[in-house]
Structure 1
């Protein structure tokens, strides 16, 4: 578990392309994809991010704890105040660069991010993420490599940052195995 504010071992995988409110000025009636969402394109940087997800599909993916946290985010509350949409930009999916590579689920939400950043073990993460997202993270290439190297008690497969300080939404990134990432994309980001 890594954070970009509380830990001296900062993981700088996140880019500024995911700032809060980055698409709130342009309401959407369906899923939107942001080309070139990261500065470089390669095996470790996806070139597309699915932006607008279907709210009705997210609860089964995020489970209650994370879903309620996402609904409490400033991003989601602002969306509801502006255009009361059935879609949200508070949950994004960075698409895999090639088949078989990892997806990254990214969302912005309120202080639950801090609680996740305080997780001390992989089992703590299982409790917070729920079985579905935890299994997706465990199936990622990154997590498999960590296990191969003997890293069993913590993981870089979950990263929390606080781009606007502790009073703003936190950003959570979960590395997902390709198959589950593809399933989430098909379910929550229909074309």
Structure 2
């Protein structure tokens, strides 16, 4: 399958800003590590949870964007002779599991820090803003014979991104005059 601009047949080419991807996960991972004051190496996407053993003497943080709901239809942001930018909006639901040392304290910190704009400015740089946060579980993880403290926090985030489509205006489209 080839991607083309709107003057040719085929699927239109596009690029996206802030769309959910590995780079997006990496940025969220950095934000979460900074917000909780822990090393980024101890903050991982949930699907990598069992790649390494959980250390009980440090805080381990696992996160997962488990649902993205879109609200309404995309709307045009900018249209030029070479492209059309469309914005998509919705809500992203993220579950954060905190396991180990100070996990309960850090769950409350994650809840509380969203009320200060300085703490959430970095999220807005990649299309997120916090809508709601709930501590949904305070428990202990059975790890061998030990029971490690664990907390779970659900974040509801407003999410938006822009996609640029290679749509050319009628003015720039190649034309041919046919003789009748």
Q: Does the TM-score normalized on the shorter chain lie above 0.5?
A: no
Rg comparison, structure with higher value = 2
TM normalised by structure 2 equals 0.39
More strand by share: 2
More helix by share: 1
